[in-house]
């Protein structure tokens, strides 16, 4: 079936107390970089995606998820991805229109086949299904197979949290990380995200890769000509490196050794082995292999009201948050934060001041747009 996009909250990032301003103001931050209003950036990216052949509704879903990542400071999963997405589209590795099929369904579970369409479009439908099922039955689990990169997990669990539920989201990916004790990559960075609502409106969100760092950060560093910290990756020959390009061509390391490796393995089982998606070394590499990835995602939703009264939960969450933030900082720290606080602060600031685009990403966006006949400027 062809997805029909549901009406939803117009906020670009799930920070309830800091809505994005509606004015489309752009200012030049310096001679090389630009600061772009989030709404204008969504409109620009949507227009480019439509010019490349996506339906308007799907283009907006993809653009909003990417700009949300930039708004929260997660530029590795932001608009820097558009040129890479469209390169795969032009090579026939992603379908222009996402046609979703429900493979199996029970009152509390569902499995979707994305038809090699857009990961964000498939994820939007999966989250919608999970919320609806959890609202009726208390909890739900929805898997997706035959999909593609779907942006940040934060974006999806925030939607679930905004519905008054605890959300979990995960995805597998290209085999770029070696299992603990190996030098051969057979795991993706396999990120997982969890979110829970709060009284303030901004959910508590944990979003992390199981590698030492998300591979998108290495891609962004390579595009910007920047080094990476030690301990992120090895070269193809197994030597430590701070060169982003060598790391990109090499192997990522799991976070916390066997712990990150084991978590990545379980996520691969849940998103790939269980759903019928590709997994492990069977997954084509996104930037190297001329094949569709056909990766997998999963989304879980737990309706808080099925476990405890919502107001009681929010009161207890308020205590939990303040107990953490009010605790005494350790040496070298000035404050103690809850998961997602850093991203919430960035989103609040960038909603007012705009999203800063590095010179390389700004120029790449304009070049990509021109390739599809879009000559709109980001600086006005």
Q: Does residue 39 register a pLDDT over 70?
A: yes
CA dihedral of residues 186, 208, 296, 105 (deg, nearest 10):
140
Of 25-29, 73-77, 142-146, 179-183, the least confident: 25-29
φ/ψ bin of 377: left (φ > 0), alpha (ψ from -120 to 50), beta (otherwise): beta
Minimal CA–CA distance to 223: which of 84, 341, 31, 52?
A: 84
What is the mean pLDDT of the segment spanning 44-55? 98
Q: Does residue 56 register a pLDDT over 90?
A: yes
Minimal CA–CA distance to 179: which of 285, 273, 260?
A: 260
Domains of the chain, first to last: 34-91+356-371 (1.10.1530.10), 101-211+255-306 (3.30.1370.60)
Residue 13: per-residue pLDDT:
57
Beta bridge partners of 112: 102, 144
What is the mean pLDDT of the segment spanning 41-52? 98
Condensed to tens digits (0 to 9), the pLDDT of residues 108-137 reads 999 999 999 999 999 999 999 999 999 999
Percent of the chain predicted with pLDDT > 90: 79
Residue 380: per-residue pLDDT:
63
With bands split at pLDDT 50, 70 and 90, how would you rate the model's confidence at 11?
very low
- pTM of this structure: 0.87
Around 374, how many Cα atoms within 13 Å sit in the side-chain half-sphere?
A: 20
Residue 6: per-residue pLDDT:
33
CA dihedral of residues 118, 171, 287, 3 (deg, nearest 10):
0
Q: How many whole angstroms separate alpha carbon 141 and alpha carbon 3?
A: 20
Residue 286: per-residue pLDDT:
84
Q: Does residue 35 register a pLDDT over 90?
A: yes
Neighbours of 109 (CB within 10 A): 17
With bands split at pLDDT 50, 70 and 90, how would you rate the model's confidence at 17?
very low
Minimal CA–CA distance to 303: which of 168, 134, 157, 159?
A: 134
What is the mean pLDDT of the segment spanning 240-260? 92
Q: Which of 149, 282, 322, 349 is catalytic?
A: 149
Residue 356: per-residue pLDDT:
93
Minimal CA–CA distance to 130: which of 307, 297, 7?
A: 297
Write the DSSP string, 90-115: HTTSS-SS-B-EEEEE-SSEEEEE-T
Q: Does residue 220 register a pLDDT over 90?
A: no
Q: How many whole angstroms separate alpha carbon 344 and alpha carbon 148?
A: 27
Question: Considering the chain, what is the average pLDDT of its residues?
Answer: 90
**SS3 of the chain: helix, strand, coil, percent, to 5:** 40, 15, 45
Residue 301: per-residue pLDDT:
99
Q: How many whole angstroms separate alpha carbon 249 and alpha carbon 140?
A: 39
Residue 181: per-residue pLDDT:
86
What is the mean pLDDT of the segment spanning 369-377? 95
What is each CA distance from 104 to 124, 138, 276, 285, in whole angstroms? 18, 19, 12, 28
Residue 287: per-residue pLDDT:
79
Q: Roughly what angle, to the nearest 10 degrees, separates helices 341-353 and 56-71? A: 110
Q: Does residue 50 register a pLDDT over 70?
A: yes
Q: How many whole angstroms separate alpha carbon 25 and alpha carbon 38?
A: 9
Active site residue 137: no
Q: How many whole angstroms separate alpha carbon 304 and alpha carbon 292?
A: 38
Condensed to tens digits (0 to 9), the pLDDT of residues 279-331 reads 999 999 887 889 999 999 999 999 999 999 999 999 999 999 999 999 999 99
Condensed to tens digits (0 to 9), the pLDDT of residues 337-357 reads 999 999 999 999 999 999 999
φ/ψ bin of 109: left (φ > 0), alpha (ψ from -120 to 50), beta (otherwise): beta
């Amino acid at each position: 079936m062809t997805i029909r996009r549901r009406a939803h909250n117009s906020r670009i990032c799930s920070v309830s107390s800091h809505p994005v301003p509606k004015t489309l103001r752009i200012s030049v931050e310096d001679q090389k970089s630009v600061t772009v209003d989030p709404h204008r950036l969504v409109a620009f990216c949507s227009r480019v995606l439509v010019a490349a052949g996506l339906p308007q509704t799907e283009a907006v879903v993809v653009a909003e998820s990417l700009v949300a990542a930039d708004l929260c400071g997660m530029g590795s999963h932001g608009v820097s991805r558009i040129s890479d997405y469209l390169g795969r589209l032009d090579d026939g590795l992603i379908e222009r229109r996402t046609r979703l099929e429900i493979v199996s369904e029970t009152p509390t579970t569902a499995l979707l086949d994305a038809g090699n369409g857009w990961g964000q479009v498939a994820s939007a439908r999966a989250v919608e299904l999970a919320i609806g099922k959890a609202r009726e039955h208390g909890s739900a689990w929805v898997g997706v197979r035959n999909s593609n990169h779907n942006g940040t997990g934060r974006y999806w669990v925030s939607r679930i949290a905004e519905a008054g539920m605890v959300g979990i989201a995960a995805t597998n990916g290209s085999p770029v990380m070696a299992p603990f004790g190996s030098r051969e990559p057979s795991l993706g960075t396999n990120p997982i995200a969890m979110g829970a609502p709060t009284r303030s409106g901004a959910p508590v969100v944990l979003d992390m890769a199981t590698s030492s760092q998300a591979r998108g950060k290495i891609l962004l560093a390579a595009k910007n000509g920047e080094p990476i910290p030690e301990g992120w990756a090895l070269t193809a020959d197994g030597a430590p490196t701070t060169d982003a390009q060598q790391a990109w061509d090499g192997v990522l390391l799991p976070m916390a050794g066997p712990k990150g490796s084991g978590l990545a393995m379980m996520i691969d089982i849940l998103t790939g082995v269980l759903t019928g998606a590709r997994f492990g070394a069977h997954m084509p590499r996104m930037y190297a292999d001329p094949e569709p990835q056909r990766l997998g995602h999963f989304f879980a939703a737990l309706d808080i009201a099925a476990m405890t009264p919502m107001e009681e939960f929010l009161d207890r969450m308020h205590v939990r948050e303040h107990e953490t933030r009010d605790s005494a900082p350790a040496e070298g720290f000035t404050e103690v934060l809850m998961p997602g606080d850093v991203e919430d602060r960035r989103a609040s600031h960038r909603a007012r001041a705009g999203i800063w685009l590095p010179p390389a990403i700004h120029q790449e966006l304009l070049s990509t747009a021109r390739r599809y006949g879009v000559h709109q400027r980001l600086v006005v």
